[in-house]
Amino acid sequence: MLSTLNKYRHVFLVGLQSNIVYRWNFAVRSFFSLFQLAVVFILWGAAYRGATTIGGFSLHDTLTYFVLLLVLQFLIGAFQEDYQISEEIRNGLINQFLLKPVNYYAYRFSIFVSARLVSGALVFIPLLCALPFIHGDLTLTFEPWRIALALPALIMSALIQFTIAYCFGMLTFWFLDIQGFVILSFAIETLLGGQIFPLDLLPAKIFAAAQYLPFFYQMYFPAAIVTGRLGAESIGRGLGIQLFWVLTLLALAQLLWTRGLRRHTAVGG
């Protein structure tokens, strides 16, 4: 068990070094995300000029939600994992894992964790630059019990994010180019993950239905726990549904891997 963990610890450390090499890419990306934040501040600021609360939440609550969402994107979001996995399958780089006692999912997940550690740290640089301008617009009163419940939700969100990206990468066994699928899925995940607007602003029935989809647990769920947009009962039920989706997606990832390998042809030495 310990030797297995040690194996992936090394993968994690190599991944960390490799991602530190690309620190400027992450830094530039996090800088551009400030523009995305500016759009949010301008749009919602204008929408709130006609109303003190929207969906029961103040402007500051909503802006805090979006700032937290930005941090989560860099901390647990899957950026390029689907394309990287696709590339490794197309180029035959996965062949080496077929001959070694290395689990490909665990290998890629270790690299994902190291990459998010680097990008998660770098997102704080532009945020700290923006803080003098935006701190007055934020509601920074986080309750300890919410933080405690948000931690397992965050870990499961990261697993869902990564596993969905992994499954899309696996599609390369069947399709030469997965970019269209990935961008289509990204649009759906962005919308139903609450990155366009807080999902609780949807009509009640649609919001209730959205809670049964995996996208709900990618970003919205942990952000809503911390920012107080969900009550204790909803959080408890949500953690159960989230666990269900983690297990379902892990099973799907394993199925796609085994089925995909049956189609795979390894050529060359």
Partner 1 sequence: MSLAHYLRIWLASARYAMVRTLMFRFDFVLWSAVEFTWMVVNLLLVQVIYQHTSSVAGWSKYEMLLLVGTSMIIQRLFTGFFWSNLFEVGRNVRTGHFDFYLAQPGNPLFMISTRKLDPDGLVNSLVGFAVVFYSVRELGLHPGAFDIACYVLLVGCGVLIHYSVMVTIVALPFWIINSQGIEGSYFTLFQFSRLPREAFRGLASLLFVYLLPAVVVSNVPANVLRHGFQPVPVAWMAGIAFGWFAVSVLLFQAGLRRYASASS
Residues near partner 1, by CB under 8 A: 25, 28-29, 32, 35-36, 38-39, 42-43, 45-51, 54-55, 177, 180-181, 183-184, 187-188, 190-191, 196-197, 201-203
Residue 142 or 181: which CB sits closer to partner 1? 181
Residue 88 or 200: which CB sits closer to partner 1? 200
Q: What's the CA gap between 240 and 62, in Å, rounded?
A: 26
- The distance of closest approach from Cβ of residue 191 to partner 1 in the complex, given in angstroms and rounded to an integer, is 5
Residue 32 or 244: which CB sits closer to partner 1? 32
Residue 65 or 107: which CB sits closer to partner 1? 65
Sign (positive or negative) of CA dihedral 90, 180, 120, 243: negative
- The distance of closest approach from Cβ of residue 203 to partner 1 in the complex, given in angstroms and rounded to an integer, is 8
- The distance of closest approach from Cβ of residue 165 to partner 1 in the complex, given in angstroms and rounded to an integer, is 17
- The distance of closest approach from Cβ of residue 57 to partner 1 in the complex, given in angstroms and rounded to an integer, is 10
- The distance of closest approach from Cβ of residue 81 to partner 1 in the complex, given in angstroms and rounded to an integer, is 16
CB 67 within 8 A of CB 127: yes
Residue 203 or 268: which CB sits closer to partner 1? 203
Contacts of 254 (CB under 8 A, 6+ apart): 105
Residue 4 or 179: which CB sits closer to partner 1? 179
- The distance of closest approach from Cβ of residue 48 to partner 1 in the complex, given in angstroms and rounded to an integer, is 8
